[in-house]
Amino acid sequence: MSRTVLERLERLPRRGLTVLALQGISTLVPGRWSNVTSAEALIAEVIGSSDPELIRQVRQRADQLSVARHEGYGRALSLYDAVNRSQHASGGLRILANATAGLPLLKRLATITPPSDTLQAVDLSLKVAAEMLAFTQVNGLPGDSFGDFVAALADYGSEARVRMTALICFDALLPLGDQALQRLDDLLGAASRRDLQRLPAYGRMAGLMPGRGDAAHLSFLRQGVAQWSGWAGGFIAELGLTGQKAVHALEVSLGPWQGRMEQLAAFLDAFTDTYAHTGVQAVARRLVERAAAEI
């Protein structure tokens, strides 16, 4: 990784579609979301002090941890980057399939695109896997620590909580409907190795997944989603999340939406970076918390 985690934080956009989408969906989460893009402000918030010398010491230690090869902070960011590129590819394919279905010269391209629900389910499973693998990398745990991951979800706050809200809304409820969680296992059970290989994130994540080969990795993804779905179902019930509620929240920041929910999901996948954006923020917060504890 050419930049430290805190340098990545400082390069995040302060405005744009990604920020607007996160601002909209954050209205569904108690406490909202703050678009933290200043390392100094994050450190001051974590340590509860604006002492410049203490902030400098914490940042220095954070940068040391960030670039240490035996630490997992850089690998965690690479996972978020991978699924971010994959969601752009997935959203682009779905938009292309919709836009070209009636054009003779491009109809064949549309026909070889996997069914959008299958592609969406696999893309979602890769994001869930990236979340768990990032969690294990940052905390020095084995990659198949399902129990530790699910337990940690209950304590997610700030950027991580908003990322999970966006994941549930943008990647489940909007494209797959309000019964999305009940459909995921069947959709993933029908997914093929070819479906998996179509998404760029898989190639970048495969080396960190337990097991060897596509079949083992599909099984790992399916198991991870099954574990995550239990928590996500409770989260949906707690906040009363629905696809229509997500649309209304997004309309507050993005403006009126005239299309179908699955089209909005494809648009968000193709043109926003919500997962990577909040991923950088969450990893930066965890890094600063550790650095502060070690000063």
Q: Which H or E run includes 203?
A: helix 200-205
Question: Sign of torsion, CA 131 132 133 137?
Answer: positive
> Would you state the pLDDT for residue 94?
59
Spatial distance between the Cα atoms of 224 and 230, rounded to a whole number of angstroms: 10
Question: What single DSSP character describes residue 207?
Answer: G
> Would you state the pLDDT for residue 90?
63
Q: Hey, how many other C-beta atoms are within 10 angstroms of the C-beta on 15? A: 9
Domain boundary assignment for the chain: 5-294
Spatial distance between the Cα atoms of 5 and 23, rounded to a whole number of angstroms: 23
Spatial distance between the Cα atoms of 43 and 181, rounded to a whole number of angstroms: 37
Distances (CA, A) of 138 to 71, 118, 248: 7, 30, 35
pTM: 0.87
Spatial distance between the Cα atoms of 51 and 58, rounded to a whole number of angstroms: 11
> Would you state the pLDDT for residue 103?
40
Spatial distance between the Cα atoms of 266 and 215, rounded to a whole number of angstroms: 27
The tens-digit pLDDT sequence of the chain (295 residues) is 468 999 999 999 999 999 999 999 999 998 778 999 999 999 999 999 999 999 999 999 999 999 998 899 999 999 999 888 877 766 665 555 555 444 443 344 444 344 478 888 998 999 999 999 999 998 888 867 888 999 999 889 889 999 999 999 999 999 999 999 999 999 999 988 888 888 888 888 888 888 889 999 999 999 999 999 999 999 999 999 999 999 999 999 999 988 889 888 888 888 899 999 999 999 999 999 999 999 8
Closest Cα to residue 270, out of 179, 144, 171? 171
